[in-house]
Structure 1
Amino acid sequence: MSHDDRQMNGQPCPNSIPDQFELPPARKGRQRLTRLRTAWRTSWEEGGFLYQRWEEIFQARNASWHEIAPWIKAAGLLAGISFLVIAMDTAGGITGTALKGLSDVPTSDISDGAGLWGTVDGPIRVFLTEQAAHLAVAPGALYAFWQLTGLLSLVGGFLGNAGARITWTLFGCSGLAMVWSASPVGGRAAATGLAAFMWALASTVALRGLTLRPIVHNHPPQFQPQFNPAIHLHAAIPAPTPAGDDFGDNTDTIRRLQR
């Protein structure tokens, strides 16, 4: 291209290359990455944004609730609410599946009552089967739910849960009532007594550590008032007489007596 083509009447041609051309996209990307790295390092320096946030997290371990940074409180509450919602949703799904499985359990065969366990377990199966005939649930589901309640209360009572121990007590009382109701009349007392002994043996595990004796804590009080008796006497002491004061006596009278 000639010099005349690049200039027209002393002015540059519109299609000519400008004096300052733009950087290629690759170089722009490298400059942007360099700025990001610089900003990242600056934020971690003392007084930077990320440095201050990390200090707040580090100080929150030993600080009280009012001293914790507000953004940490908000993040903790949001995480706790999210965990609670997820836990409740999961527990609801598990509970619904378990109850559906119990409702689909087929009718279990009633044991013949042979042996010690059969003497206790047989009347319970008979009682639940008779009651299930009047309910919209299978006898096997009632029996499975009864067993599950006993197992969970046994484990929870062993771990020291108060609610599980109350459930275990109700579980045992209901078992004794079912054995008494469904056992043959001639052996009703023996079957109920045997069930009571079995329940008492299992209670040594479920009610581990439970005592009826009151627990007395003999801890001295933290604040012990101290009494220092003292008697305060307020006596009125007359002011001393100034020197040379003769209680108003006249010096002339004293001189006459001396004469």
Structure 2
Amino acid sequence: MSNNDRQTNGQPRPSSILDQLEVPPARKDKPRLAWLRAAWKESWQEGGFLYQRWEEVFQARHGGWHEVANWIKGAALFCGFSLIVMMGDAASDIVSTTLKGVSVVPAIGAGDDTGLWGTVVHPVRVFLADQAAHLAVAPAALYAFWQLTGLLGLVGGFFGNAGARITWLLFGIGTLAMIWSAAPAGGRAAATGLAALMWALASIFALRGLTLGPIVHNHPPQYQFNPALHLHATIPAPTPAGDDLGPDSVHPL
């Protein structure tokens, strides 16, 4: 502070508390933080560790699986495996809860099945109820499983899945056998025939595109055969003029 600032009307002014305070010097970083900051900046420079990893991630977006870095493949496989494990665990919990809920559902009375559908479904319910009496499972659980099997076979067969179509065929044969076994004696043939017709109609969608005849694919040949005759003739070198007797011959004078 200059002398003019310390004078008031030509008289020296006593120094105040503000004049005695000094501005503290700038705080210096600790050596450890400074080293970390320097290492961080150096790793992001061209050729640094983080810079190279970022370049590998950027190149993985445009390259194939074989061109991706190994650490990216490992991370992707680990994440995919973890996701599959979590989905499997969640699916097992859902299936277990659903089966427990179905097992406690009381069976629907026989009088609720009426009409053409009831003619097919009622014998199935009766057959499953009789079999469930000898098994450790509720009749409602067996009936729900029967419905689920038919639904999966119908939907999967519509999309051309071979396993689903086999399931659909076994589902239909088993259903016809249950109806024949549990239907009343007087209407057994009619109930089984009606179920067979309904199953055949549903098979139009479940077995869509399935043919029993051989499939012939007429494709043009991928190669062309062009017969040609190639003759290779060897022409001897011409003999130099005036050298009829050969290089070792002696010409008389």
TM-score normalized by the length of structure 2: 0.71
CA offset digits 1:222-258 (Å, max 9, x no partner): 5x3756543546679697586375899x99xxxxxxx
| Secondary structure of 1:72 counterpart | helix
**Aligned counterpart, 1:147:** 147
Tell me how far 1:60 sits from its aligned partner: 2.1
Tell me how far 1:36 sits from its aligned partner: 6.4
Work out the percentage of aligned pairs sharing the same amino acid: 60
* Alpha-carbon distance change, 66 to 235 in structure 1, aligned in 2, over 3 angstroms: closer
**Aligned counterpart, 2:11:** none
| Secondary structure of 2:110 counterpart | coil
CA offset digits 1:114-145 (Å, max 9, x no partner): 42111111111111111112112121221122
Give the AA of the match of 2:116.
L
Is the Cα–Cα contact under 8 Å of residues 110 and 122 in structure 1 kept in the other structure? yes
After superposing the two structures, state which structure 1 stretch, 227-236 or 102-111, moved more.
Answer: 227-236
Give the AA of the match of 1:60.
A
1:109 lines up with 2:86 in the alignment: no
Counterpart CA distance in 2 for 1:187 and 1:231 is 83
Give the AA of the match of 2:229.
A
Tell me how far 1:37 sits from its aligned partner: 6.7
Tell me how far 1:72 sits from its aligned partner: 0.5
* Alpha-carbon distance change, 154 to 236 in structure 1, aligned in 2, over 3 angstroms: closer
| Unmatched runs of 5 consecutive residues or more in structure 2 | 1-23
**Aligned counterpart, 2:127:** 127
CA RMSD after TM alignment: 3.7
Give the AA of the match of 2:109.
D
Counterpart CA distance in 1 for 2:142 and 2:161 is 25
| Secondary structure of 2:141 counterpart | helix
Tell me how far 1:221 sits from its aligned partner: 5.8
Tell me how far 1:205 sits from its aligned partner: 2.6
TM-score normalized by the length of structure 1: 0.70
* Alpha-carbon distance change, 178 to 23 in structure 1, aligned in 2, over 3 angstroms: farther
Give the AA of the match of 2:145.
F
**Aligned counterpart, 1:97:** 97
1:206 lines up with 2:201 in the alignment: no
Counterpart CA distance in 2 for 1:242 and 1:229 is 39
CA offset digits 1:166-190 (Å, max 9, x no partner): 2222111111111111112232222
| Unmatched runs of 5 consecutive residues or more in structure 1 | 1-21, 252-259
Counterpart CA distance in 2 for 1:211 and 1:38 is 72
| Secondary structure of 1:134 counterpart | coil
Counterpart CA distance in 2 for 1:159 and 1:238 is 75
CA offset digits 1:16-58 (Å, max 9, x no partner): xxxxxx988x7548x94x8767765654443333332222122
Give the AA of the match of 1:109.
G
After superposing the two structures, state which structure 1 stretch, 189-198 or 203-212, moved more.
Answer: 203-212
Mapping for residues 46-65 of structure 1, pairs under 5 Å: 46-65=46-65
Give the AA of the match of 1:170.
L
